[in-house]
Amino acid sequence: MKWFLIFLSIASGIIGCGQGIENIFISDKLTVIVQELEKETEINIKCSIVLADKLPDINDITGEIGYSFGSVNLILLKDTKINDPDFSNAQKKALIMHEIGHCQFGLDHNNDAETNGRPISIMHQGISNYVYTDTSWEENRDYWLQDIYKINEMKD
């Protein structure tokens, strides 16, 4: 936990605090995916996204592959998962948008699903398990992002 508090202190100094941060940091390995997401969704991403070797234990909850800290606009993603060749770009996009839902838009998990098991929101806790290919992401993206789109429109 100590390493994590030190990291947060440094990160806070680099990226600042509060909403509307213009100077954000995106790990090099994710730059292209984040740019694609901004173009696809027309949402200006305002959270720094950093890869980490391991994720912190906070309040007895361990993020399996991602963790968001909205108070400092910071998202940590598990480096080993992002670098896993079996974790597709579509899954990375779903994971990033899920964490942006927490970090930038303050959304909680929504594990509601249709009768066939299809999540109704990007905020489903296991959303990246439902996205396998770019086609499945493209076909479901706008449906899954309805909550984020509504909030984003209200902020504009």
pLDDT one-digit tens code per residue, 84-131? 899 899 999 999 999 999 989 999 999 999 998 889 999 998 888 888
Entry pTM? 0.79
Separation between Cα atoms, residue 79 and residue 144, nearest integer Å: 25
Separation between Cα atoms, residue 105 and residue 95, nearest integer Å: 15
pLDDT one-digit tens code per residue, 25-44? 898 889 999 999 999 999 99
- Provide the sign of the torsion angle of the four alpha carbons 59, 70, 82, 142, taken in this order: positive
Mean pLDDT of 40-56: 85
Token code pair at residue 118: 């299809």
Asked whether the beta carbons of 101 and 148 are under 8 A apart, the reply is yes
pLDDT of residue 20: 36
Give which of 62, 146, 61, 136 is closest to 107, Cα–Cα.
Answer: 146
Share of the chain above pLDDT 90, in %: 33
